[in-house]
Amino acid sequence: MKKTFQGRVITPGTCRAEALVSHGGFNTLASYQTPMLLGDKAVKCSDQNNPDLYQKSMLGKALCLPETIGSTTGGMALYTVCATGKQPACMLFSKHIDSLAAAGAILAAYWTDAKMPVIDRLGEEFLSAVKDGMTVEVKENGVVEIE
Amino acid sequence: MQLTKEQQEIFDGARGETMARVMQTLVAYGEAFDAERMVPITGEYGHTVISFGLGIMKPIYELYDKILSDGEVSHQAFSADPRPVDKKNVPANLLQNFIFDFMYSQQGRYEEQLRSFGILSDDAYTCTCYLPEVGNTPRRGDILSWAESSAVVYANSVLGARCNRNSGIIELFGSIAGCVPEFGLLTDDGRRADWIVELRTSKLPDAQLFGSAVGMKVLEQVPYVKGLDRWLGAELNDAACTYLKDFGAATASNGSVGLYHIENLTPEAVEHGETLIREGAPVYVVDDAEIERVKNSYPCIWKDLAAKPKLCFMGCPHMTLSQLTDWTLKVEEALKEAGNRKIVIPTVFTAAPAVLRAFEKTEYADRLKRYGVVTSSICPLMYMNNPLCKSMPVITSSNKLRTYSSARFYPEAEILRMITGLK
């Protein structure tokens, strides 16, 4: 059954992708560190502290998360991931976006050609409803549909 | 957002397309947080988290080349995080060094860029830029454009400066533009406490474990900690600041804390007391059992959990001068008790170049060297990024290093026993 959520657009765009869900804070550096260093084509999450995502491919997925956590290299890591075409299809935040993720997403939007819509404030219910493998559709106006 | 006339002109391109995009990026960043204006940076120096020339991060260096080629530099001098490699002091075999050369192939290019942007000196590479020996110590109320989670949380909490948890690149953009968007930890409201943490342990908890517990609980919110002054006292002396440095680094890396208040100790808690706490703030009680639970919750990704450690890192964030001298005495006593003349696990203590220079002038430096401990200004995390180092059993007292690498965490007391061979 399709469910619809309204969020706020941080960086615009549309996409349709498979959901990948982190219920805890997403540590951007810890998650992208190893795949970036080793050139892992599947971009598998290297954060051993994140049981939801560890060792799962993040490339091209609709990354659903509450917020990002960790080092202030997080935004820079996200920028690099986008500049090298290794980004998720979109990032969907249940909470208000944090400063590191916002910086990374906005840097990517202004300084790279990457397309990665970012929506925040989708609410706790969004993160409870969305499951790995579901199809997620992001509309231009911040509407997110899951099925 | 309301911009000043000068800011609007830059935004519109009066200083060229690149500078316009720098300003537009900062404005968009602020708008994500409903910032109403850009405020001037009042801190004397900046600090950048990017200190490494990683081959895979070429897009960043290309971006910086573009900005430099358009004649833009930082409006303020700045320090940077530690360098990633120290072949002279830190143990590494030929193959590991070969990988370091390959991984950090952009180091020379990047350090040249930092010189062009305006780095303070070739020695200004440390995550503890705020220590007196280094000299990038903001005053209370200063507006900063810094990145490096452990330095930002220290500047906000212990020094009372005002800085958001900026990302790498954005912090340099702020230094180039001379202004930052006003939101979050730059505002009085953003500095109020969302959580009360009540410390009820039977002794002073390991700073890295206590910080980890708080960070994982409150994530990006501001905690007001009660009960720590019972152990640290009510004076921000060297011992208290050192503890808070390690506590804060763990709150920032295990969660994303940018500011904490310690009752009767940190400047805003001393001045405003419990009026800082938001109405209805939840309470998190930390007792001995909670510290033990947190310690036992850490995953370890060593292939052989019983492997003998091959290396130990202390100093993430970099150690203070008093930590270096205290640890020299601790190692000395433990070695004597264990009946050993030298440490039994290769060990590296890391500190800022200026702190190590000060340490070299003390009587303790030769003693520490005699016991086999190596000192360096390297970033242990960057060392551990090397896949051949990652596969080694490395131990650490740093919760930040544990979070970002395969290094296994032990509290300081256990680290001391392990490296000295004390049973």
CA atoms within 13 A on the CB side of A86: 25
Q: Which residues pair with B196 in a beta bridge?
A: B224, B283
- CA proximity to B220, closest of B318, B142, B149, B296: B149
Task: Write out the residue range of the structural domain in which residue A62 sits.
Answer: 3-146
Number of domains chain A contains: 1
Distance CA B197, CA B192 (A): 14
What is the predicted pLDDT for the residue at B301?
86
Let me know: does B181 contact B38? Beta carbons within 8 Å: yes
Query: Within 10 Å of residue B131's Cβ, how many Cβ atoms?
Result: 24
- One-letter amino acid of B420: T
Provide the residue type at B234 as one letter: A
Which stretches of chain B drop beneath a pLDDT of 70?
none
Q: Which residues of B touch A65 (CB under 8 A)?
A: none
Label residues B381-390 b or e (16+ Cβ within 10 Å = b).
bbbbbbeebb
CB interface of A with B, residues 25-84, below 8 Å: 25, 27, 29-30, 33, 36-39, 48-49, 67-76, 78-80, 83-84
Q: In this predicted structure, what is the pLDDT of residue B95?
A: 96
CA distance A65 to A26: 7
Mean pLDDT of chain A: 96
* HSE of B299, CA atoms in CB hemisphere, 13 A: 14
By the 8 A CB rule, do A73 and B167 touch? Answer: yes
CA B59, CA B39: separation in Å to the nearest integer? 29
Contact B149 A72 (CB under 8 A): yes
Residues of chain A in contact with residue B219, where contact means CB-CB under 8 angstroms, are: 25, 67, 69
**Which residues, 6 or more positions from B34, have their beta carbon under 8 angstroms from its beta carbon?**
B183
Number of Cβ within 10 Å of residue B51's Cβ equals 25
Q: How far is B318 from chain A (nearest CA, A)?
A: 15
At B190 the pLDDT is 98
* pLDDT one-digit tens code per residue, A22-42: 999 999 988 998 999 888 999
Classify strands B179-181 and B38-40 as parallel, antiparallel or unpaired.
antiparallel
Q: Give the count of Cβ contacts less than 8 A between chain A and B.
A: 128
For B196, residues 6+ apart whose C-beta sits below 8 A from its C-beta are B223, B224, B226, B277, B281, B282, B283, B284
- Residue B56: its chain A contacts at CB < 8 A? 36-37, 39, 80, 84
Closest CA of chain A from B146, distance in Å: 9
Interchain CB distance below 8 Å, B28 and A36: no
Please, what's the b/e burial string for A9-37 (b: 16 or more CB within 10 A of its CB; e: otherwise)? bbbebebebebbbbebbbbbbbbbbbbbb
- Tens digit of pLDDT for each residue in B125-151? 999 999 999 999 999 999 999 999 999
User: Residue A9: which pLDDT band, with cuts at 50, 70 and 90?
Assistant: very high
Q: Letter for the amino acid at A146?
A: I
Identity of residue B54: L
pTM: 0.94
ipTM given for this complex: 0.95
Instruction: List phi, psi (to 5°) of B380.
Output: -60, -35
Residue A34: partners with Cβ closer than 8 Å, 6 or more residues away: A40, A44, A46
Q: Identify the H or E element spanning A143.
A: strand A143-146
Q: What is the CATH number of the domain that holds A96?
A: 3.50.30.10
Q: How many whole angstroms separate alpha carbon B223 and alpha carbon B13?
A: 42
Query: Does B23 contact chain A (CB < 8 Å)?
Result: no
3-state DSSP helix/strand/coil % of chain B, to nearest 5:
45, 15, 40
Do residue B29 and residue A102 have CB atoms under 8 angstroms apart? yes
pLDDT of residue B234: 95
- Helix (H) / strand (E) element for B394: namely strand B394-396
Q: Say whether A79 and B301 touch across the interface (CB within 8 A).
A: no
User: Could you tell me if B90 and B83 are in contact, meaning their C-beta atoms sit under 8 angstroms apart?
Assistant: no
Cβ–Cβ gap A99/B165 under 8 Å? yes
DSSP B186: G
**Whether the Cβ atoms of residue B288 and residue B201 lie closer than 8 Å to each other:** yes
Q: Which CATH class is domain B5-186?
A: alpha beta
User: How far is CA A85 from each of CA A67, B62, B153, B160, B276, rounded to the nearest angstrom?
Assistant: 22, 16, 32, 40, 44
Residues of B in contact with A97 (CB under 8 A): 32
Q: The domain B311-420 belongs to what CATH superfamily?
A: Aconitase, domain 3 (3.30.499.10)
CB within 8 Å of chain A, chain B residues 255-274: 255-256
Q: Which two tokens stand for residue B198?
A: 């009540």
Report whether A97 contacts B32 (CB < 8 A): yes
Query: What residue ranges do the domains of chain B occupy?
Result: 5-186, 191-296, 311-420
**Same fold for the domain at B5-186 and the one at B311-420?**
yes
pLDDT bin (cut points 50, 70, 90) of residue A105 is: very high
pLDDT digits (tens, 9 = 90+) for A65-78: 999 987 889 999 99
- Residue A83 contacts residue B59 (beta carbons within 8 Å): yes
Select the residue from B63, B166, B256, B302 to test the A interface by mutation, using most A Cβ atoms within 10 A. B256
